[in-house]
């Protein structure tokens, strides 16, 4: 009887976990945390960035060089926050402020070495993030704790808009941006700020020669504007409605 009760409890737990509103994130988060391939892609991104930066350092530049990087899932790993959401069936912004204030995010593989390499060669490093201004000090604390070169004035958080265009334009007043690095197409240009899957993909095709040179992409299957495009920008849908949209968006093999 005791074994039967234990089995029933286990089945209930599995069933509840399967029905969790965040369960669809499980494989993406596991991939980010456990896959050697995820680590390899991060190293690859920063290796390519180093090759491209060396080329630009050899050129004569009228303005000093700068590198612009996103923070979340570009230089800092927030997968523990995603894992918490899966296990507690909660989602952003629940617990996000506490996660930022804890300043415990680990660096992405290759990020610290590359940005220190750039900094030592006189290249300014700007962190343009959509973390809110209230998290500015905690973000700086986290970046410094794991070894990144940080000028506090170069950590540019979100104020009145999630678009990064104005902040990039501020950098361009004094610097030439050698590289833009991020996990989201909006980290590179405002042209990608669309809630349309087909148009976003078409724009990537149009700009294919810029990826791997001017634009360096970090992998992030856990979240991003790509997901918003699948929902057509409507994040106010219920969990079940979003689940249906995700399934309807799949392109299956037809027998």
Does the pLDDT of residue 253 top 60, yes or no?
A: yes
pLDDT confidence of residue 17: 44
pLDDT category of residue 13 using cuts at 50, 70 and 90: very low
Distance CA 188, CA 202 (A): 15
pLDDT confidence of residue 191: 98
Q: Number of folded domains in the chain?
A: 1
Residue range 24-47: mean pLDDT, rounded: 98
CATH code for the domain of 134: 3.40.50.1000
What is the full DSSP assignment across 190-231?
GGG--S-HHHHHHHHHHTGGGBTTTEEEPP--SSSHHHHHHT
- Quick one: what percent of the chain has pLDDT higher than 90? 89
Residue range 39-44: mean pLDDT, rounded: 98
Ranking 19-28, 84-93, 221-230 by mean pLDDT, the lowest is 19-28
pLDDT confidence of residue 12: 41
Whether 87 is covered by a domain: the verdict is: no
Give the domain extent around 223. 42-77+107-233
DSSP state of 150: -
pLDDT confidence of residue 20: 58
Backbone angles phi, psi at 213, to 5 degrees: -125, -80
Nearest to 72 by CA among 102, 45, 105: 105
Q: Which residue has the higher pLDDT, 176 or 22?
A: 176
pLDDT confidence of residue 249: 97
Angle between helices 79-88 and 26-34 (to 10 degrees): 140
Whether 100 is covered by a domain: the verdict is: no
Say whether the peptide bond before residue 93 is cis (omega within 30 degrees of 0).
yes
pLDDT category of residue 21 using cuts at 50, 70 and 90: confident
What are 124's strand-pairing partners? 66
Take residue 8 and report the two structure tokens written for it. 């029933």
Q: Which long-range contacts (CB under 8 A, 24 or more apart) does 182-185 make?
A: 182/69, 182/70, 182/74, 182/217, 182/218, 183/70, 183/72, 183/73, 183/74, 183/217, 183/218, 183/219, 183/220, 183/224, 184/70, 184/220, 184/224, 184/225, 184/226, 185/225, 185/226
Mean pLDDT of the chain: 93
Whether 98 is covered by a domain: the verdict is: no
Contact (Cβ atoms closer than 8 angstroms) between residue 82 and residue 25: yes
pLDDT confidence of residue 11: 41
Does the pLDDT of residue 182 top 50, yes or no?
A: yes
pLDDT confidence of residue 18: 46
Whether 243 is covered by a domain: the verdict is: no
Whether 24 is covered by a domain: the verdict is: no
CA distances from 247 to 25, 76, 165, 233, 236 (A): 14, 30, 33, 17, 17
pLDDT category of residue 241 using cuts at 50, 70 and 90: very high
Whether 59 is covered by a domain: the verdict is: yes
Nearest to 107 by CA among 139, 64, 75: 75
Q: Which residue has the higher pLDDT, 91 or 143?
A: 143
Residue range 195-212: mean pLDDT, rounded: 98
Does the pLDDT of residue 4 top 80, yes or no?
A: no
Give the SS3 label for residue 72.
Answer: strand
Whether 173 is covered by a domain: the verdict is: yes
What count of other Cβ atoms lies within 10 Å of the Cβ of residue 103?
18
pLDDT digits (tens, 9 = 90+) for 82-91: 999 999 999 9
Whether 27 is covered by a domain: the verdict is: no
Distance CA 207, CA 45 (A): 18
Give the SS3 label for residue 187.
Answer: helix
- Quick one: what percent of the chain has pLDDT higher than 70? 92
Does the pLDDT of residue 128 top 60, yes or no?
A: yes
């Amino acid at each position: 009887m005791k074994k039967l009760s234990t089995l029933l409890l286990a089945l209930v737990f599995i069933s509840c976990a399967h029905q969790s509103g965040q369960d669809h994130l499980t494989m993406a988060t596991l991939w980010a945390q456990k896959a050697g391939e995820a680590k390899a892609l991060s190293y690859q991104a920063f290796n390519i960035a180093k090759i491209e930066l060396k080329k630009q350092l050899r050129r004569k530049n009228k303005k000093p060089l700068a590198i612009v990087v996103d923070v979340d899932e570009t230089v800092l790993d927030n997968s523990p926050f995603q894992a918490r959401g899966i296990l507690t069936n909660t989602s952003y912004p629940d617990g996000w402020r506490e996660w930022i204030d804890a300043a415990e995010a680990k660096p992405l593989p290759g990020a610290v070495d590359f940005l220190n390499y750039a900094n030592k060669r006189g290249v300014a490093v700007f962190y343009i993030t959509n973390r809110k201004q209230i998290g500015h000090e905690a973000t700086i604390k986290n970046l410094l704790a794991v070894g990144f070169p940080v000028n506090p004035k170069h950590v540019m958080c979100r104020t009145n808009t999630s678009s990064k265009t104005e902040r990039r334009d501020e950098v361009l007043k004094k610097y030439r941006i050698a590289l833009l690095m991020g996990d989201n197409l909006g980290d590179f240009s405002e042209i990608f700020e669309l809630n349309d899957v087909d148009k976003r993909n078409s724009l990537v095709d149009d700009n294919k020669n810029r990826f791997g040179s001017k634009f360096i992409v970090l992998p992030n299957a856990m979240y991003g504007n790509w997901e918003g495009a699948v929902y057509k920008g409507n994040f106010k849908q219920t969990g079940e409605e979003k689940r249906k949209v995700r399934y309807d968006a799949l392109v299956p093999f037809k027998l």
